[in-house]
Chains A and B, each alone.
Chain A
Amino acid sequence: MEEKKIQVDIKVPNQTRYLSLIGKIGEDIANELYRYSGDRETLAYHINLVLTEAMANAIRHANASDPDKIVRVVIFFEADELVIQVHDSGQGFDINNIPTPNAENILEDRGRGISLIRSLMDSVCYRTMKGGNILEMTKKLQ
């Protein structure tokens, strides 16, 4: 029989007060991965972080801080990968036009979010769909 796996599909208002809720859900899912043999506490923190970063990005940049919009978060498993999607309904942004942090810009207040996601996940892409955009991140689970 095929193993049933967790899938989460949740919509929250486009407000930063919900970052904690979504991050916590990500941590709890990481803690449910009974076959994961790596450092579970670190994985849970990293999933919390990438969800927080992606959602904050959607709220502020893609959805332009409009509190009437919504952010949709989908988390599921595909083969041995954890897939996290953050859907926004805004104008989007150019993920390839974000400077990589380096010695020259280390004292910038902003601009670390996408770079953090890239360093913690195995793949990151941002694509435009009908009515919005999706930031999709995947992580191989060993």
Chain B
Amino acid sequence: MNMLSEKKKDVTILYVREERLDAHNSGDLKTELASLFEGKEKSILVDLKDVRFIDSSGLGALVSGFKNAISHQGNLKLSGLQPQVKSMFELTRLHRVFEIFTSSEEALETF
């Protein structure tokens, strides 16, 4: 999976640079998030602005990251959701679980 990470202050921003986040590549995201939290990162922002399509396993990878954040006393937030991607969070009620921001700049101010 094509991902790019960037550190701004104490926040690691993980840009998912794929058009689809599905059962083929979501395992990579799940592994990367687990590795970041195990590496003592506390604040992670996953930016999904390039993602046009997400399926249940993509959502599952983010839920797994969210649980990792909780167990490491950290934070995982989301930004840049395209409308159809956001609708999947709403359909599964996961928009009530995650803190979701329009842009990474907006999200960074909340950590």
**Residues in chain A within 8 A of chain B (CB atoms):** 16-17, 19-20, 23, 41-42, 45, 48-49, 52-53, 56, 59-60, 101, 106-113, 115-116, 119
Question: Does B67 contact A19, Cβ atoms closer than 8 Å?
Answer: no
**CA separation between A56 and B55, bound complex, in Å?**
10
Question: Does B84 contact A42, Cβ atoms closer than 8 Å?
Answer: yes
* Chain B interface size, under 10 / 10 to 19 / 20 to 34 / 35 or more: 20 to 34
- Prevailing SS type, chain B contact patch: helix
Question: Does B55 contact A52, Cβ atoms closer than 8 Å?
Answer: yes
Pairs A–B under 8 Å by Cβ, sample size 12:
A16-B22, A16-B24, A19-B20, A23-B22, A49-B55, A52-B53, A60-B23, A106-B97, A107-B63, A107-B66, A113-B56, A116-B91
Expressed in whole angstroms, the minimum distance between the Cβ of B98 and any Cβ of chain A is 11
**Residues in chain B within 8 A of chain A (CB atoms):** 20, 22-24, 30, 53, 55-57, 59-61, 63-64, 66-67, 84, 87-88, 91-94, 97
Q: Which residues from A are CB-within-8-Å of B20?
A: 19-20, 23
Question: Does A52 contact B66, Cβ atoms closer than 8 Å?
Answer: no
**CA separation between A87 and B93, bound complex, in Å?**
30
**CA separation between A36 and B55, bound complex, in Å?**
24
Q: Which residue of B lies closest to A49 (CB)?
A: B55
**CA separation between A111 and B94, bound complex, in Å?**
14
Q: Which residues from A are CB-within-8-Å of B30?
A: 109
Question: Does A109 contact B24, Cβ atoms closer than 8 Å?
Answer: no
